[in-house]
Chain A
Amino acid sequence: MKTIVRKYSAALFSIGILTAFLLFWPQKSAQTISILSYQLGTMLQIIPPIFILLGLFDVWVPREIIIRLMGPESGFKGGLLGFFLGSAAAGPLYGAFPIVAVLMKKGASFTNILIFIGAWSTTKIPMFLFEMNALGYRFAVSRLIINLAGILFIAAVMNLLIPQKEKDRLYAAAQNR
């Protein structure tokens, strides 16, 4: 019981803030509730099948395959794969993190995982088409080009700034998910 309360302490705290917000700002309550129900609805629909698929991936895809494709020795191809996996995805950034855990578990390298996160966050293919439509091809294409450089830059700097000990800790934690 105590562990459950501790596990959910942040969630309970945020719900407390929400309650206070609704009480003290009733003009905003209709909006807030509609947004919350929208987000909750999307989450309840999409999250369960995704976690089942991740479980299946975890059980069926051998570690050796991911190590070969995206491991530390995978080189340029591994980075490219991480980039395309991230770009092909749909959904908000926080959807990428459970996948990151499975990729870590299966031995994908830290750099390739960072490239995957970067691609997921900003170079998604459906979004690119949409951006081109709304903001013009110069805007979309120049942003895509600078983002490619940015993703690699952020991945490289992070790889330097995060000590090996911390990486080992993250990979060990991923084993238990």
Chain B
Amino acid sequence: MLQILETLSNKLTPIHRFLIIETMKIGLNVMLLYAFTLAALIFSAFKDRIKTKKAVLKGLKSLSNILPQFITVLVIVSIVLSLFNEALMTGILGEESGVLSTFGAAVVGSITLIPGFIAFPVASELLRSGAGIVPVATFISTLMMVGIVTLPMEIEYLGKRAALIRNTLAFGFSFPAALFVAWVISL
């Protein structure tokens, strides 16, 4: 198994190798989460067995309700992430602060779903290699607030209307927010 992972990882870009390492680090947090959940369950069962059973059934029911959207989102995310690698991001964001690169940054940020612990170092590297603050800040903003690939899930919970309005507003907001950040840094 490990060998397969190793041969696989040789074909991967740094971002993806990083993802795998992060998985292993997540282990500890996951253990804490399970310990906490288990303690809560035991405490709850101690207080009231019937209520606890109801709670577990409710949890499983809402999980099975959202599972189809979950799977959809995961599959789309994997395809999109494998298309957007570091090189492409540098290509789009690497130009100096132009309208085009800012808009491109917003589109890439809206589509991709990269955890902050990967996005921030990449952004910092981009800034160092001469990318403009406005496109980089726009990218970070849209990355966090706009989620095109997670829309199926958002619609399930917030409804089509609210989900679309929220994402549109967040997309629009990212531009003035980036200008503000650039202005503060220029002070």
Contact = CB atoms under 8 A, between A and B. Distances in A.
20 contacts: A10-B69, A10-B152, A30-B8, A39-B74, A39-B77, A43-B74, A49-B37, A50-B33, A53-B37, A53-B59, A56-B41, A59-B52, A60-B44, A127-B116, A146-B176, A150-B170, A162-B161, A162-B162, A166-B159, A174-B157
Interface of B: 8-9, 11-13, 16, 19-20, 23, 26, 29-30, 33-34, 36-37, 40-41, 44, 51-52, 54-63, 65-66, 68-79, 81-83, 85, 113, 115-117, 120-121, 123-124, 127, 133, 137, 140-141, 144-145, 147, 150, 152-154, 156-159, 161-162, 165-166, 169-170, 173, 176-177, 180-181, 184-185
- Interface secondary structure of B, over-half rule: helix
A64 interface: no
Interface string A1-41: 00000011011011101100100000010111111101111
A58 B55 contact: yes
B32 to A, nearest CB: 10
Contacts, number: 233
B57 A55 contact: yes
Given A51-B63, A134-B121, A158-B165, A31 B71 contact: no
A122 B62 CA distance: 26
A38 B72 contact: no
In the A-B complex, the 5 residue pairs with the closest CB atoms: A55-B59, A142-B184, A134-B120, A36-B78, A55-B55
Interface string A147-174: 1001001100110011000100110001
A168 to B, nearest CB: 11
A62 interface: no
Given A36-B75, A121-B144, A161 B56 contact: no
How many chain A residues sit at the interface, stated as a range, is: 35 or more
B23 A35 contact: no
B68 A59 contact: no
Contact of A48 (B26, B55, B63, B173): B63
Interface of A: 7-8, 10-11, 13-15, 17-18, 21, 28, 30-36, 38-43, 45-56, 58-60, 90, 92-94, 97-98, 100-101, 114, 117-118, 121-122, 124, 127, 130-131, 133-136, 138-139, 141-143, 145-147, 150, 153-154, 157-158, 161-162, 166, 169-170, 174, 177
